[in-house]
Structure 1
């Protein structure tokens, strides 16, 4: 589904666009002359649907040559191995995410608990995946007119990154903030409300027009309102709102 001239959403589950597996996050594709960059990979259960969505949007899957993982949770990173095997793409992630994704350690993934809680089917298995490039705070990923700056944004998970393009005021927010100023509050060992508060304060300093979150619908204008609302709730000591 085309969202802007260069940005498509090609995957999404029950908390998003419903384009692939119910267990998938929103999977975004940035089309450019250098090829297609995916942001997140879904759970791995909607892999064929993601590839078909690309084709439906006129994007041949063989043009996809890179993938950024925002964090290691299974709904975002579980599909990395299958897509890498099929497309031979370059996988990029933070150092912390890479360590988890490459090991496939279910305890670090929180997958054992997630299966017990019924978030994933009992038979679901995370496929470990090699990471080709480690991303650090301030690194730039250039794709056409986009110069995506890597931001370290812990809270929902300790390893999460977001991507921000200053010129278009576009934020690929992963699971930091959503429409209406909602957060993704979960009961896992890698969650930190203290870090989340700092992350929202950090994002509030950006001028955000377009907000592409890991779940829910993208905001194509006034995306900064969502960040502002979340920040105000923290500053006023009000309980944060959650999408889950």
Structure 2
């Protein structure tokens, strides 16, 4: 297994297939100095490891205040109940509430993992095309990027002159049972390209940088799915 590590100033990887559990999505942490935020929660079996990894990085886990769920698939939200119980506020887009708060199994895709999801209440309901979440002295800008799911978001943060994009499921896949829409996905990818991010923190395949690699990664999937 790999170790939690710093990606750039203020951004860390604290969970994921190579760090906590092969079934987890990549879990990222944003350090806003006075507050910390997690981007996604993993499948749910690694929550204590994630908390321990925060400490291993020399960060104060008591400053962890917010968890932003990028979309409602269980490998991204399975750990929400644990983190909610520790006092974190959960944020997701209103178009993902049926999965995150409602727990509809066809939307959480829990059958793929054989794990039952425990629904949680959502404290911060994101609406519209763009909404900001303050994390200490930083701002997570949450861009609505439907396609993989109806209400998926791709947050990004500008820290120390570097734009970091959390594009969790750029690679798909697509399934009509959970509301995938390839046309909307294509438009979402164009929106992400327009951000000209310096670093991409992807949901399953790790980190891509510099900007040319970010652009190339997104364009690879655009070519694959829009032939």
Residue pair 1:204, 1:228 contacting (<8 A) in 2 also:
no
Correspondence list, 1:70-109, <5 A: 70-85=70-85, 87-109=86-108
Partner of 1:155: 147
Conserved 8 A contact 1:210-1:218: yes
Distance, in Å, in 1 between the alignment partners of 2:95 and 2:184 is 16
**Structure 2: distance between partners of 1:188 and 1:22:** 25
Q: Higher strand proportion, which one? A: 2
Q: Could you list the per-position Cα deviations for residues 182-216 of structure 1 after superposition, in whole angstroms to 9, with x for gaps in the alignment?
A: x2224452222212111111212222111111111
Question: What SS class does the counterpart of residue 162 from structure 2 fall into?
Answer: coil
Equivalent-residue separation in structure 2 for 1:79 and 1:140 (angstroms): 23
Partner of residue 121, structure 2: 130
Aligned to 1:117: none
Q: 1:144 to 1:133 in 2, by over 3 A?
A: closer
Picking from 186, 193, 199, the partner of 1:197 is 186
Q: Give, in whole Å, the separation in 2 of the partners of 1:59 and 1:226.
A: 28
Task: Please report the RMSD computed on the Cα atoms of aligned residues, expressed in angstroms.
Answer: 2.1
SS in 2 for 1:216: coil
Asked if 1:22 corresponds to 2:22, the answer is yes
1:59 aligns with 2:59: yes
Partner of 2:46: 46
Matched, 1:164 2:153: no
Q: Summarize the Cα distance change of 1:48–1:229 in structure 2 as closer, same or farther, 3 Å threshold.
A: closer
SS in 2 for 1:66: strand
1:7 aligns with 2:11: yes
Give the SS at the match of 2:9. Answer: coil
Task: Give the unaligned 5+ runs of structure 1.
Answer: 115-119, 177-182
Query: Within 2, Cα distance between the matches of 1:111 and 1:69?
Result: 16
Contact 2:37 2:66 in 1 (8 A): yes
Counterparts of 1:160 and 1:215, CA distance in 2: 15
Q: How many residues align?
A: 218
Structure 2 SS opposite 1:205: helix
**CA shift for structure 1 position 229:** 5.4
Classify the secondary structure of the residue corresponding to 1:139. strand
TM-score under structure 2 normalisation? 0.87
Contact 1:69 1:76 in 2 (8 A): yes
